[in-house]
Amino acid sequence: MLAAWAKQVGKLDNRDGCFRIAKNVAVLGDKINLVVIDAGFGYPGDRLATVFEAIRPHAESDANHQGVALECGDYPYAEVSDCLELAAERQEPALLLLLDHLQDPQNVGTLLRTAETVGVHGVVLPGRRAAEVTPAVVNASSGATEHLQIVVVANLAQTIGELQKAGIWIVGVEDDERAQQFDRADLDMPLGLVIGAEGPGLARLTRERCDFLVKLPMRGQIASLNAAVAGSIVLYHAWRARRSLISWQCVFSGSCCWLSRRSG
């Protein structure tokens, strides 16, 4: 039965039909005794022994795990076009999350978990000075990474410009005097939410490229919220606004476009 279960999880469902291969599965009975299972790929015994030894230090440490370890292939990053196509397939106005050089894997993972929960069509990460999809991020996201379109781009500001040309409104989350209160802002539109880095917030060029900014009101003694907490609150607010959205839809050349204020 355990071997059959291992074969079932040998492929992790990712992004509506793409698969991330799990080469081996390890079931951690306790911190000393491990059971390593060939996930149906015919690896010889010495290969499984190597996996066993690779996983043992994590099992015997204080690492936070839930009893199962997978040896997986590389993460299959998507393209921005994939995110927009997914929104069109679902016949929904696009909802994207852009992370402006967040470096803490816990914050990134938490935001990815929230993004998957509210049905975000894609997440955009910069390729430098930022956390990518690592085992720590996967763990912090509780596996949400395997159900999201995640894109890595060379230039976030340039990507913002391309999204705006595609009719996406870019909204930055920033504690700025020009920012609107998040719960008073109109977010019922094709939307890209930008969350700034821990500490410095949004980069200057990113901030300037945003169509407008939103902030969260605070009445306590602490000056700011954690990036993941603030981003999650605004994501949920955007989702609620979109649930009541009445949009006009047009079909052209077999693709679905949402008529936004940007496109007139």
CATH number at residue 103: 3.40.1280.10
Contact (Cβ atoms closer than 8 angstroms) between residue 214 and residue 180: yes
Both 68 and 87 in a single domain?
A: no
Confidence of residue 195 (pLDDT cuts 50, 70, 90): very high
Mapped to the 3 state alphabet, what secondary structure does 199-251 carry? CCECCHHHHHHCCEEEECCCCCCCCCCCHHHHHHHHHHHHHHHHHCCCCCEEE
Between 213 and 132, the higher pLDDT residue: 213
Q: How far is CA 13 from CA 17, 93, 157, 218, in A?
A: 7, 24, 31, 40
Confidence of residue 57 (pLDDT cuts 50, 70, 90): low
Structural domain for 176, as ranges: 80-258
Both 102 and 205 in a single domain?
A: yes
111: in domain: yes
Both 158 and 254 in a single domain?
A: yes
Joined tokens for residue 43: 């690896």
Query: Which pairing describes strands 249-252 and 255-258: parallel, antiparallel, or unpaired?
Result: antiparallel
CA-CA-CA-CA dihedral for 151, 156, 162, 168, to nearest 10: 80
Per-residue pLDDT tens for 112-126?
999 999 999 999 999
Counting the structural domains of the chain, the total is 2
Both 54 and 172 in a single domain?
A: no
Confidence of residue 190 (pLDDT cuts 50, 70, 90): very high
> What stretch of H or E contains 130?
none
Between 50 and 192, the higher pLDDT residue: 192
Residue after which a domain boundary falls, among 50, 72, 94: 72
Rg value, the chain, Cα? 21
Between 91 and 26, the higher pLDDT residue: 91
- Count the alpha carbons within 13 Å of 129 in the hemisphere toward its beta carbon: 8
Confidence of residue 175 (pLDDT cuts 50, 70, 90): confident
131: in domain: yes
pLDDT of residue 42: 45
Both 103 and 228 in a single domain?
A: yes
Both 210 and 171 in a single domain?
A: yes
Confidence of residue 168 (pLDDT cuts 50, 70, 90): very high
44: in domain: yes
Lowest mean pLDDT among 57-61, 197-201, 222-226: 57-61
CA-CA-CA-CA dihedral for 142, 74, 157, 116, to nearest 10: -30
Both 61 and 98 in a single domain?
A: no
Section 173-194 average pLDDT: 86
264: in domain: no
pLDDT of residue 259: 46
Is 45 a residue whose pLDDT tops 50? no
Both 10 and 132 in a single domain?
A: no
101: in domain: yes
114: in domain: yes
Specify which of 64-68, 161-165, 182-186 reaches the highest per-range mean pLDDT: 161-165
197 secondary structure, DSSP code: B
pLDDT of residue 150: 95
How far is the C-alpha of 29 from the C-alpha of 65, rounded, in Å?
12
Residue after which a domain boundary falls, among 72, 104, 124: 72
Lowest mean pLDDT among 16-30, 90-104, 138-152, 171-185: 16-30
Q: What does the mean pLDDT of the chain come to?
A: 75
pLDDT of residue 35: 45
Considering the entire predicted model, what is its pTM? 0.76
Both 84 and 13 in a single domain?
A: no
Both 91 and 125 in a single domain?
A: yes
Both 119 and 248 in a single domain?
A: yes
Between 198 and 96, the higher pLDDT residue: 96
Specify which of 131-140, 143-152, 239-248, 252-261 reaches the highest per-range mean pLDDT: 143-152
How far is the C-alpha of 45 from the C-alpha of 47, rounded, in Å?
5
Both 254 and 174 in a single domain?
A: yes
pLDDT of residue 180: 83
